[in-house]
Chain A
Amino acid sequence: MSAELPISSADSNAISDGAAFVTVFAGNQMFGLPIGEVRDVFKPAVITRVPQSDGVIAGVLNLRGRIVTAISMRARLLMDAAPDGSPVMAVGVEQDGELYGLLFDRVGDVLTLPAASLAPNPANLSAAWTGLSRGVFRLKEELMIVLNVPEVLRIMQGAQASTKA
């Protein structure tokens, strides 16, 4: 079961005026992904675990014949794991021709927010989250943290990471 979201033709890196965000939730915190960076949203079927892989990698899965690397966002955000059997939704993103599924607890609505309202990361945001965030939107009832997808996907690759200049 998956939904293809219209991919914005605007420059996906810039948060332009009246930009749309896909809202997602991990452990009660709301996050937002610029719609231009989201390929689709789907309920992952079976995720094959990959023994010996980084703890953040939940495994690999098959999406319409293509292999998608599933990343547990709870783990990525240094949160506790959800109890076994909790629902999971995946947000499909792409980088360098490869597909990734960011696993969240659930997906919310698509919100269109004025660019002007994007606020810098609050001082009390944890260091880990600050690194992954591009800013926040203060909504009526909660804070939406805008995720920096390329940063999210920059997962330590063992020895390679330490030798990068």
Chain B
Amino acid sequence: MQEMLRVENLTLSIDGKQVLKGVNFSMNYGEVHMLFGPNGAGKTSFIMALMGFPKYKVDQGRIYFKGEDVTEKDISERSRLGLGISFQRPPTVRGVSLRKFIEIISDGASREETLKIAEKLNLLSHLDRGLNEGFSGGEMKRSELLQLMVQKPDLVFIDEPESGVDLENIALVGEAITTLLGKEDKLKEQKRSAIIITHTGHILDFVNADKGSLIFEGKLICGGNPRDILSEIKKHGYRRCAQCQPSVLTFRT
């Protein structure tokens, strides 16, 4: 398996305050990686920095995507290289309809294909509304996934797909993620890669993740089977889970 993403010794700060320190991480093409951690641990900061949001300042370290150093590239350049993100709480953009935006970002998806996906995601009636304008939590998540499905990135960051979503909608969101990642496609076909942030682990009921790791107090620690990690967290909490391998302060999958 070929390496798709490599993060070397990454240290991040927001407004001068350090949020992540010395993170090393890598993942291969087609892998799905679950990222666990308590609130404020630095999970969102990690993926936002990988995506290139300037608020998350890289103080030290490098980010390589498909063999290319993207550390200095801006958000849209990274996106065009094949990175994509589903926001936990995307902003509202009035006057720009979801339909129009999809047309702008669509990477070869036909109108029929888009409508088919929108119908599957129960978003047909939202296409002519402003982006995220008056959308419920579940609708926002589905809209994010719809956008990613037409954008077709190679590696997607999905930030807390379950948050603000009722139980009924979690299934729909979970199925949409599975579709997005191409897990329903033939085995030999190239799958999309993902880093998924989760608090509750509910999403593991729908998405088959290959690996998992824990971010705790600004450090990426522990790693292995995502279900085992979740089980440990549920039994003993984040701190104990983080302490189970105290020497592993840098982790490579």
Asked if chains A and B come from one complex, the reply is: no
